[in-house]
Amino acid sequence: MSYDDVLSHLGGFGKYQRIIYFLICLTSITCAFHKLAGVFLLAKPDFRCVLPFEDAVNATYDLPATVWNISYPPNLLGNKLQTCEYYNAEYTTDYLNGTTPNKANGTTTCNAYVYDKSKYLNSAVTEWNMVCNRSFLAATSDAMFMLGVLLGSIVFGQLSDKYGRKPIFFASLVIQVIFGILAGLAPEYLTYTVSRLIVGATTSGVFLVAYVIAMEMVGPSKRIFAGIFVMMFFSVGFMLTAVFAYFVHDWRWFQIALTLPGLVFMCYYWVIPESARWLLSKGRKDEAIKIMEKAAKFNKLTVPREIYDNLLEVDSTEKQQLEAEVNKEKTPDVFDLLKYPNLRRKTLLIFFDWFVNSGTYYGLSWNTSNLGDNDLLNFAISGAVEIPAYIFLLLTLNRWGRRTILCGSMLVAGLGLLSTLIVPVNMNWLIIAFAMLGKLAITASYGTIYIFSAEQFPTVVRNVGLGASSMVARIGGILAPFFNMLAEIYKPLPLIIFGAMAFIGGLLSLYLPETHNKPTLETIAEGEKFGKNAKACDYVENGKEMQVKGDILETIPLNGHSMNEQKD
């Protein structure tokens, strides 16, 4: 008898499991805080050079229209003024009044800046002047945060497999609170960026490990729904970040305010149990039984002792068989996915889809301030559109097929974002609408790519494949801030780039075989054979379809690599 069989005797997804699951879901809210906080921490308001006749301390952003035009040159596109430099002229009273001819001798770079405080009181950008030729520092800081997410998913995933889910979860939480506060107190850029990198790593430790605990508590039939509902809590955290930004205007207090809720989760130490599944895998049988007995007692159920005895006998036998197979066979690695032509083609397509989905999702999430109008409202809507995307997945993922949803969502995202190219400048609301359509669609795509990838990789290399896919996805997230920098040249340019990538990814995904209602792939040979002759137009394979041996997630080892968060 497997552990999943015992879950039915514990009430399935009973009251105890639901309470623990809900408490764990709350941790994704604070992880969303930290992942999306950069939009406001590194907000770049409108700015201009302090002109020679102004006092840098008392200068205000507003100037008469005539002074703007005689002080700052137009940018290369001629659609706005270049405020990183000003005309090299004598700024006399007559010159500023326009009563003398323009005697400017070229332009000169800024010595100091003045910022528009109508939207943002301050930010790390305004405090350390990360504008003009220093604007790359802001993008680099966001990129380093995502690098931390990548490192955290590797380090904390392995540590949780070795030392247990619970201790790593709380260690990550303590580190997150400490360095989250330190980021708000950072005296200079380097300390801030390193602190944010470590916070990024802990988001993997906190959410990824908690996510695994939650998934290990539910049976195979509930894992898709459980995983998607966790993502919904992430979206709630997305929207709540805008609420914090509305009430807390100083960037340092904003960072600290987003970090302090993590202290509440310290109380979980006396509530959240260690994963019984992990304890069994480590041979700590008595501890696992105590946790299962506690769940049964809370659910007011009685589990016969022979159920536990049968579970232990089967687990012991399976463990011996597994160890024998591991000793006999070579440990699979990512190169096994690239040795054979069909498997290599599918693997590279999957890697590209992960890269596009991660880059586009975070690129759009962090680009809301470049859309114009109300930044806070744009940000809140960007989080809100994720909810219908996940509801759509719940209703269709097991009905329409994985490839249909993945390709369709990516194509819709691509078309929506590319449509911003033809929208008139005076219809900014339509640009925002298309951007939000793209965000909704790419969220649905991101929610699909995980399970679709898991079903594409054979069991013997599934962990390896998903781990490599996650690493490629992080590269997309690392590059996203630099794509958003291009808005300084042409505001819709990031949306066009993300749209083109999503559209191309959607088209290429048509060459991946459908996996819904197909048997689980077990060996490299099966993976190489599956979909070998598939064409882009083959939405349904010929012949009678075989029934799935069980939910695909039942065959996925529940550890720190295979259960990576979809937006990790």
Helices (H) and strands (E) in the chain, counts: 23, 4
Contact present, 113 and 129 (Cβ < 8 Å) = yes
What is the model's pLDDT at position 544? Answer: 36
* Of 281-290, 293-302, 418-427, 477-486, highest mean pLDDT: 477-486
Quick: pLDDT tens for 475-514. Answer: 999 999 999 998 888 888 999 999 999 999 999 999 988 8
- Percent of the chain exceeding pLDDT 70 equals 84
Contact present, 209 and 156 (Cβ < 8 Å) = yes
Q: Is residue 437 predicted with pLDDT exceeding 90?
A: yes
Same domain, 23 and 70: no
* DSSP classification of residue 81: B
Same domain, 91 and 146: no
Q: What is the mean pLDDT of the chain?
A: 83
Same domain, 171 and 239: yes
Please state, as a whole number, how many other Cβ atoms lie within 10 Å of the Cβ of residue 333: 11
CB burial string 117-129: b at 16+ within 10 A, e below:
eeebebbbbbebe
- Token readout for 547 is 């029934």
Give the residue with greater pLDDT, 288 vs 41. Answer: 41
Domain stops at, among 297, 329, 361 = 329
Quick: pLDDT tens for 30-59. Answer: 999 999 999 999 999 999 999 888 888 888
Confidence of residue 1 (pLDDT cuts 50, 70, 90): low
Q: Which of 162-166, 469-473, 491-495, 543-547 has the lowest average pLDDT?
A: 543-547
Task: Give the DSSP letter string of 332-393.
Answer: P-GGGGTSSHHHHHHHHHHHHHHHHHHHHHHHHHHTGGGS-S-HHHHHHHHHHTHHHHHHHH
Question: Could you give phi then psi for residue 30, rounded to 5 degrees?
Answer: -70, -30
Q: What's this model's pTM, rounded to 2 decimal places?
A: 0.84
Does residue 130 sit within a domain?
no
The CA–CA distances, whole Å, from 85 to 40, 109, 132, 490 equal 25, 4, 9, 18
Same domain, 310 and 248: yes
What is the model's pLDDT at position 242? Answer: 95
Q: Is residue 367 predicted with pLDDT exceeding 80?
A: yes
- Token readout for 122 is 């301050």
Same domain, 200 and 244: yes
Same domain, 432 and 444: yes
Quick: pLDDT tens for 178-208. Answer: 999 999 999 999 999 999 999 999 998 887 7
Average pLDDT value for residue range 57-79:
81
Same domain, 17 and 150: yes
Query: In the chain, what's the furthest Cα-to-Cα distance?
Result: 99
Provide the pairing of β-strand 47-49 with 113-115.
Answer: antiparallel
What is the model's pLDDT at position 563? Answer: 38
Same domain, 322 and 346: no
The tally of domains found in the chain comes to 3
> Distance (Å, rounded) from C-alpha 497 to C-alpha 430?
18
Domain stops at, among 87, 116, 145 = 116
Q: Is residue 384 predicted with pLDDT exceeding 90?
A: yes
Nearest Cα to Cα of residue 49 among 78, 97, 24, 84: 84
What is the model's pLDDT at position 78? Answer: 60
Output the CA torsion 393→400→566→470 (10° steps): -170
Give the residue with greater pLDDT, 553 vs 332. Answer: 332
Give the residue with greater pLDDT, 9 vs 409. Answer: 409
Does residue 128 sit within a domain?
no
Confidence of residue 558 (pLDDT cuts 50, 70, 90): very low
User: Residue 83: in which H helix or E strand, if any?
Assistant: none
Quick: pLDDT tens for 81-136. Answer: 888 898 888 888 777 777 666 666 788 888 899 999 888 999 999 999 999 889 99
Q: State the helix-helix crossing angle for 375-384 and 220-247, rounded to 10 degrees.
A: 170
